[in-house]
Amino acid sequence: MFSAYIIATILTAAANIYAAIVDFRRPRWVLDNMTKWGGSHSWLFTLGVLKAVGALGLLVGIDVPLIGLAAAVGLVLFFIGAIAVVRRVRWYSHLPWPAAYLLLGVGSLVLWLAVS
């Protein structure tokens, strides 16, 4: 079970590091999505930092379990919020993206609970 936890945690961290890098690079499609969702482009840096901190917290959490727990819970809450935003603007074709990140976060959290 511990091996599954490590694999899920590394995958979740990698996905969130990628998402943070995309936010920091600010490609046109991300800016267009932010506009469609009613968000300010200035939020991208903060959103990227939250994703990066969550990812790093998961990795640190392998050695310091409570940090891993906090990071997993934070990422789960973050992506629940992302899903709420997508639903609010009724852009349902975009639900798979935050849902996939949410499932990764939930997987890391559930496996953390299983090995603790």
Q: Is residue 80 pLDDT above 90, yes or no?
A: yes
pLDDT tens figures, 102-114 = 999 999 999 999 9
Residue 37 has pLDDT above 90, yes or no: no
- Residues 6 or more apart whose CB falls under 8 angstroms from that of 28 comprise none
Per-residue confidence (pLDDT) for residue 38, from 0 to 100 = 87
**Rounded to 5°, angle at Cα 88 from 82 and 86:** 35
Structure tokens at 19: 């998402």
Give the pTM.
Answer: 0.93
């940090």: which residue's tokens?
A: 67
Residue with tokens 């046109």: 28
Residue 41, judged by CB atoms within 10 A of its CB (0-12, 13-18, 19+), counts as exposed
Strands (E), the chain: none
Tens digits of residue pLDDT in 53-76: 999 999 999 999 999 999 999 999
